[in-house]
Each structure stands twice: as C-alpha cells, then as structure tokens.
A and B are shown apart, each in its own frame.
Chain A
Amino acid sequence: MTIAVPDSSIVETAPRPRGQIAEFVRQQPLGTVSFFIICAMMFAGVASELVAPYDPLAIDFTSIMSAPSWAHWCGTDAYGRDICSRLIYGSRTALVIGFTSSFIGSSIGAILGIASAYFGGKIDDWIQRVMDVLLAFPIIVLALVVVAAFGKMLVGEIDINLIIAIAIPILPRVARVVRAAAFSVRVMPYVDAARAAGYSHTRIIFRHMAPNVVAPYLIMLTAFIAQAILAEASLSFLGLGVQEPTAAWGLMLSGNAADFYRQAPWLILFPGVAISLAVFGFNLFGDSLRDFLDPRFKV
C-alpha cells in the first residue's frame, strides 16, 4: 500500500511570482498583448521628451496640415504641430488623468463598499441609496455636471477638478462590486475574532477586510483606467476637459479637426487610434486579470 503523497502544487501556500507570470502569459495571450500595449503607452508617457521627435507645442507655419511623411510620421495639424509628438505627449496626459481619477474613484469606492458590507443594516442601506443615486447617471453626464459645478482648478498643468469629475462616477460602480466581495469576507471567522479582540472598526476594515478584497479592487482599478481615459478624451473633445495647448488625444479631435475631413483625414485618424488602443489595452488587461485572479467577479 502506498501512502498518498500530497501534490506539491496543492500544498504550496505562497505562489511563486515567476510561475504566476508564466501562467498568466499561457492562459491569457490577449491579456499579455494588452499588457505590452500598456507598457508601450507608459514608456511614451514617462519618456515623452526622449521619444518625441518634435516639441508638441512648437508651431510651424511652413508645414501646416502636411500629410504623413518621413519628417512627420503622422502629419501635422492646423498649426503645423507634429501630430506624432502630440500623440506621445498625449499619452502622458491620458495616463496621469486616467490613472489618478481611476485610483481615487476606485479607492474611495472600495472603502465605502467594505464599510457598507462591514457595518450592514442602516449604514449599508444609506450608502446603497446614495450609490443608487450616483448610478443613475452615465459616466460622462455625471462628469459634466461636476465640471459645471466645480469649474477648473489648475495645479501646474493638471486640472484637479477634471480628475475629480471623472473619479466621482467611478466611485459607486466600484463600491457596488467591492461590497459584494466584502460580504463574503465579512462572515469569515477572522473578522469575528478581530472584533472579539476589540479592534477598532477602522482597523478591521483596513487591516483585515481590505487585503481580502484586493483582487476585485485591482480588476476594477485597471478596467476603470480605460473608462477614465475614454471620459477624459470625451470631455476634452467637447472642449470641457483638457485645454489647449496641452497635448491630449480627445482635444486633438475637437474643434478644427472636424472641419478638415476633406483635406486632412490624418488629423482624425491617429488620435482616435491612440484612444482606442489605450482603452483596448486597459479594458482587456482588466478582463484577463479578472479571469486569471478570480473568475467569480464578473463586472
């Protein structure tokens, strides 16, 4: 009679990070592709000064709306500015606004979601009512209302109020998903143990419950970077987001770009491709992360 030797892969408690990455690449080929898109975008955003062939703000009246060529890969706009360089700098704008607003919205949303599940009862009811109200707005509409209410507040080149405007509609959407995940954590014995030990509510929420809903939090954070980039592009397109002369993808499509359908289609083509690729990258990476980390959390 042989004694069953426990399978090492089952017993092993701490997953080896390298094995996990290999597993992710194997299971999620599309997720891996999207990860490289995100990396490329981050590189372009961080090292814009090194990558971009021209100054994105340099106006050159000798080459207004010139077609794509070896000198200007994506052509130039109505001010003779190099579109390729503006796209590269635009990825910085998109990343800064997309990441910070998604981070702020998802984090506050996650904390509210956990608190809602933890306290339950009246507090849960009230938080849910407020979230229901916020959910009755499409992302863009709520962001527009916040823009109307708060106006602009520039810190350096970044409009803080624009970030808040995009973060607010993200908040209830994350709160709802995290709350559902936190309910299953709430009934765990260790939460009861923590309460019996007399720990404060804040400590239990942050130290005991939050680490156990990190998976849905990360998934939502990534997926909502895509939504935030889309929202930023839409608001800038409408003239209510990032303002000229800052390079931003949505802004490049707005205003005079639409007047040049006939003469300069490259004004419209390239920024749209950039937005779509970015949204595609983060969306798909979020999806693959979800399938990989925990298939139960369908958004």
Chain B
Amino acid sequence: MADAQTSEPIRPVLAREPLVTNGRSMSWVTNKICGIVENRQPALWWYLFIPSVILMGVLGYCLAYLVVTGVGVWGNNHPVGWGWAITNFVFWIGIGHAGTLISAILFLTRQKWRTSVNRAAEAMTLFAVICAGIFPAIHVGRFWMVWFLAPVPNANGIWQNFKSPLLWDVFAVSTYFTVSVIFWYVGLIPDLATLRDRAKKGIRKLAYGFFALGWRGANRHWRHYEMAYLLLAALSTPLVLSVHSVVSFDFATSIVPGWHTTIFPPYFVAGAIFGGFAMVLTLMIPARKIYGLQDLITHKHIDNMAKIILLTGTIVGYAYIMELFISWYGGNKYEQAAFENRQFGYYKWAYWAMFFCNVISPQVFWFKYCRHNLWVVMAVCMCVNAGMWFERFVIIVTSIAQDFLPGAWDFYHPTRIEIWTFVGTFGLFLGLFLLFLRFFPVIAMSEIKGVLPESDPHYLPPETFTHDAEGEKLSHKALKKTAKKTAKKATKKATKKATKKATKKKKN
C-alpha cells in the first residue's frame, strides 16, 4: 500500500488560496477558539461592554418613559406617523440578512469560506432582529395592546386582518427570528460538545454539557445532523428573501407616492444584504484583530465580503436610479413630485448622504488595494452603515412628510427620546455581541476542521509523493530546507517589526 502511494505523481491542480493560512492543525483551531471563551477577556472587552450596558440602561429608560407618557414624547406628527421607529426597525431587520445569507445561501452554493464567519454573522442576525423587534412593539404607543398583533381574536371576537401586509410582517419577522435561532443552535451543538469536553468541572461543564445534548460526534448522528443543517439552509434561503420582501410590502402595497412601487422587494433585499455585510465587517475586523484570528478570517474572506458589498451596493444604486427613471417615465405627477421632493425638498441632505454612502463609497472596492487595506474597508463599512439608515429614513419620512395635500405637509424631526432610544439599541446590540464573544465559540470549529486539507479522506500528505507533475523526482529534504528558511525569514521580520514598535513606544 505504502509503495503504491509513493509512486503516485502529484496531479497538476490549480492551487486554491487556502481557507486557513499557515497550515494550522485541528488542535490549533480548537485551542485558539476555545481559548477565547476559557481565558480572561482583554481589557478592551470591558471598555466596550461597560458603555454598552449603560446604553442598554438608557434604552430601558427611554422605553419606560415612552410607555408611561405616550407617543407624544416622539416627534411624530400628523403626516409623519412613521418616523424613526419604523426607520430603525427596517434598518435593524436589514442588518440581520447578511447573517442568514452567509449561513444559508452560501452554504447551498458551497462557498466554503463562509465557515469562518457564519457563526458570528448568525449571532449578529439574532441580535439585530432583537433590536428590530423592539420598535414595532413600542411604536403603537400603548405597549400593552401589542398582543393585538398575535393571531388571537380580541374581546369582540374580531380576528386580525390576514390580508394586511402588517400582519404578514408579524409572521415573517417572528418566523425569521425563530428559524435563525434554530439554525444557529444546530450549528453550535458540536462546538458546545468541544467546550464541554475541555471544561473540567463546575457550572461551565454542566451548562455546556446540557446544551451539547450529549453529542458524541458519531457518524450515524452526523448523517442526520448534516441533513438537518442542509434542510435548514434550504428553508432559510427563501425565508431571508421573503422577510425583507414582506417588510417592503408594508410600503409597496400602500398608495403613498414614493412607496407604491413594484421594485421594492428586490431593492429592499439587496439593500439588506448590503447593509448586513457592512455590519459583519464592522464587527469582525476588530474582533479578528483583538483575538488574533488572522489565520482563520483571512484577507480572502474580507476580500470576498468587500466584493459582495460592491455588488449589492451597485444593485442598490441601480434601484435608486431606476426609481427616478420610472417616476419620470410613468408620467404620474404625484410620483414625480415625491421624487423631486426627495432630491431637492426638505430632506435633500438625507437623500444625497444616502446616495454618496451607498452608491459612491463602495465603488472603491473595484480596486484590490482598497479591498485589502483594512482602514479603507472599515471606512466604507461605516459609510454603508450610515447610508443604509439614511435610505430607510429617506423612503419613510420624505414620502409622507409631503404627500397629496400641501396643506397637510409638515416637517418631522426626532426628539431627544427618539434619538437616545436608537442609540440605546446600539448598546443592546453591541452588549449582546460581546456576551456572545465571551460565552460562545466565535468561529464554527467543526466546520473549519472540515475544510482543512487533511480532512479530506483522500488527502495524502506531501511527503508521500516522490515525483512531481512533470515526472521529476522530488527531494523532500530540499523542500523542507527551503520551507524552514522562509519560516526563519518570516520570524526574523516579525521580531524586527516588534522591536521597532517597542523602540517607537519608548521614544514616545
């Protein structure tokens, strides 16, 4: 058997960029990811967590104040019944879409690079949907009436209107959240088992053990597990496309000029994925740096995500321009007025900020340099995060601030309570994400191990080959020597850099 192996020549294959760099082993992956959960958190974690908790408190205060006082504490007025609350709802729910896209659609299309980012992106989805869920619940003012949304008859025996997009939205968002939790949890089970096996005693062992369900990694289990995962991915794919489509129906099925357009569902979905990827990068680039995950989340991952941002950003830009074209070509004067107001009316600054952030700024990703410079990537992502919020604000507020009757027009501006409620949801989002980093494996270990080259049952280590593709004899001693040399050079460079930094610090 051994002889047969050694006489095989290396087959000429195009080398792919490795998904995990520096040839890391399985146990390295386990130690690295579990180490984040098992060791003390870096000081920066606390510097971020404490303000997040304070902001959560601010959010709680604002919500309590609203419920006790009434929606009058917000800036909503007569034409603008949907102000920041619905803007924020659509903003947060859109953020979640990138997580499901990475976990479901990229799984079905066999994009193996997703394994490094899917866990964190799915967690981000859940937290974004939690933040989103707050707003529809409170925007009705009388919070204790929120059960009217559930499919139960009220005191007069009247049921909900199932023909209304607002009720579809209730079903879409709650299904989305539930399915995302299930998908996330199913993915977590093998990794929780790893944490259980590494924990020696106490609450840690008990808690991880409980949620790992006694997972033994048996292949008879993997068989059903993989099928469950595949089915969940296949179910989530149309689900994620449907959720933002249904959100867009809230607007598109009304007759308000600026809302009443058929382009909304695809436009909203592209925008959601666009904004969500920007948020994934906003969270993962610092996390990658802080926890030293550069070998797992490589430049290839960031490059791929930047390309998706470029693609979806361009689709969004197309939608903006197409909306303008249709309003002119459609010949409806109310529609034309709505779009004129959007660009040159009360809120023109919001429209142009949106246009710059969402359409112009991602265009730098055409250049490889920009996709590889993390500062540029972060800057563009921040632009997109802001731009996507402006998009929802522009769609919602500009359309209703100036609708059919000029006599009813009014300017809308948010109150302090509204602003702090929104800022507070960032605290909730970041706080939950930091807790996730603290208690859960941030990268799906079992999936990462599955994409390592040695995980292929037909993989042979390079030492087993005696001839290369051209039939020439390979000298493994020589190969090893060169490998050692390059490794030495790399370490020398690294130490030089470190000493340079240290001397700089001393000088300062």
A binds B: no
